[in-house]
Structure 1
Amino acid sequence: MRKWGLILVLAGGAEAQVPASVSGIPTVTDGDTLQVRGVKVRLHGIDAPESSQTCTRAGRAYGCGREAAFALADLVRNKTVTCTRRDTDRYGRLVGVCSVGGTEINRWLVQQGWALPYLQYGGGIYSGAASQAKSAGKGLYAGTFQNPWDYRKNPAAPPSNGTPRVTATPTPASAATPATSSVTYANCAAVRAAGKAPLLRGQPGYAPKLDRDNDGVACE
């Protein structure tokens, strides 16, 4: 009994360190994560593409993670945001619903197509908003994309600023994929001649020298 009592006290103490609500002018970490008055806030019920994530639109790759973050930043720039806690996640962040100027940020991001309902964590309330965004071809729905939760599971995906990547079970050496460094291109002309342009960071043949603006997309 004493052991279980100690565990409950420690768990309660950890959550007590996260405030029930917080207000202030925020900074944006990525499309679903804010920092308000030093408190890290993960938006409840939604999942936006990671800051390093790319998607396709009109047949071309683009930084959908950055665009989602820019959309959020434009919405809250120099404005007071209020976030109410719904939970505390395993990384110690406040998981909450935030609003700015009468607009619920969580729902707005889904309505604009820059975030998806995170059904595993109470996102079902945003399914209708997602259907509207999809029908209108907004945000991510203007092209093709990988679900953010699947992207985080990929060990080849570049690091992001928001939710830490899920640690995958190591692949046995006998089944390992050949190293991508075995494919190299002298320049973008060679990439195009091979029919591989554009190259995304993590794909075979990608190299920083081919990515002049360092946006994760080479030979655009």
Structure 2
Amino acid sequence: MRALLPLLLLSTAAAQVPATVTGIPTVTDGDTLQIRGVKVRLYGIDAPESSQTCTRAGKTYGCGREAAFALADLVRNKTVTCTRKDVDRYGRLVGVCSVGGTEVNRWLVQQGWALPYLQYGGGIYNGAAGQAKSAGKGLYAGTFQNPWDYRKNPASPPTAGTVRTSTVPPVPAITGVTYSNCAVVLAAGKAPLLRGQPGYAPKLDRDGDGVACE
């Protein structure tokens, strides 16, 4: 029964995620939006993390921030519609989004600000990536590390999230309850964890917004 608990939790989360969501979004990072309280992870693509840096013309720059800003410029004050393809382990809608007749996922790859995430259906964007590479757009204007490799590297600094106009000072995790990762939090039925709640830890809060395992 214990082994089935994570699957049951994921099934429950999936049932609560809408098939489509429409509205004016806010941008979390280069491949994540939020629309009317629904977090949307763009299907089939992977953008650099918000703390990630790359090189261009021999200089280091914040490619994660530039990817997020490119997405923000595309959708700013516009109505976006996202259609669900899946639900990830954090309970987010994984979908294909469009704005004004433009598919957001494909556009980010065409502009070189995201890569096809082959492990999760991204092969459909290989052609768009080839165009961006040939034109030297976005990440292809210099050198970069694949976002999935960056996340695996323990030497990579923790992602800080897209730059915000105000920040909330960090609150230390309450002692007595600890979780090794978000899968354990989900299995315990405690996700999401808010900053200050028992078990919250910065390592579980990927984008530093005070909500862990969202």
- In the superposition, the TM-score normalised over structure 2's length comes to 0.71
**Mapped partners of 1:116, 1:158: distance in 2:** 21
Query: Sequence identity of aligned pairs in percent?
Result: 85
Residue in structure 1 matched with residue 195 of structure 2 by the alignment? none
In 2, Cα distance between equivalents of 1:5 and 1:130: 39
| Cα pair 1:29 1:161 within 8 Å, conserved | no
Q: CA deviation at 1:13?
A: 2.0
Q: In the alignment, what sits opposite 2:184?
A: none
2:34 is the counterpart of 1:14: no
Distance (whole Å) between structure 2 residues aligned to residue 5 and residue 30 of structure 1: 32
In structure 2, the CA distance between the partners of 1:61 and 1:54, relative to structure 1 (3 Å rule), is same
Taking structure 1 as the reference length, the TM-score comes to 0.69
Q: How many residues align?
A: 162
Partner of 1:146: 145
CA distance in 1, matches of 2:7, 2:141: 47
Matched, 1:134 2:120: no
Gaps of 5+ in 2: 162-180, 182-214
Aligned residue runs from structure 1 range 166-177, under 5 A: none
Measured after TM superposition, the shift of residue 109 of structure 1 is 0.2
Query: Can you give the 5+ residue segments of structure 1 that lack an aligned partner in the other structure?
Result: 168-220
What is residue 70 of structure 1 aligned with on the other side? 69
Q: Equivalent residue for 1:93? A: 92
8 Å CA contact 1:113–1:138 kept in 2: the answer is: yes
Partner Cα distance (2:77, 2:83) in 1? 19
Q: Which residue of 2 aligns with 1:53?
A: 52
CA distance in 1, matches of 2:14, 2:45: 21
SS in 2 for 1:19: coil
- SS of 2:21's partner is strand
Distance 1:75 1:61 in 2: 24
Equivalent residues of 1:87, 1:94 under 8 A apart: yes
Q: How far does residue 4 in structure 1 lie from its aligned partner after superposition?
A: 9.0
Alpha-carbon separation, structure 1, partners of 2:92 and 2:152? 20
Q: What's the offset of the Cα at 1:160? A: 1.6
Are 1:111 and 1:130, in contact at CA under 8 Å, matched by a contact in 2?
A: yes
Taking structure 1 as reference, are residues 68 and 48 closer, same or farther at Cα in structure 2, changes over 3 Å only?
same
**1:163-202 paired onto structure 2 within 5 Å:** none
Please report how far the alpha carbon of residue 7 of structure 1 lies from its aligned counterpart in structure 2 after TM superposition: 7.3
Give the 3-state SS of the residue equivalent to 2:85 in structure 1: strand
Alpha-carbon distance in 2 for matches of 1:133, 1:114: 9
**CA distance in 1 between partners of 2:55 and 2:43 (Å):** 26
Give yes or no for contact 2:10–2:89 (8 Å, CA) kept in 1.
no
Shift of 1:91: 1.1
RMSD of aligned Cα (Å):
1.9
Question: Shift of residue 23 of structure 1?
Answer: 0.6
Give 1:44 shift.
0.2
Would the aligned equivalents of 2:109 and 2:116 in 1 still touch at CA under 8 Å? yes
Task: Say which SS state the counterpart of residue 108 (structure 1) adopts.
Answer: helix
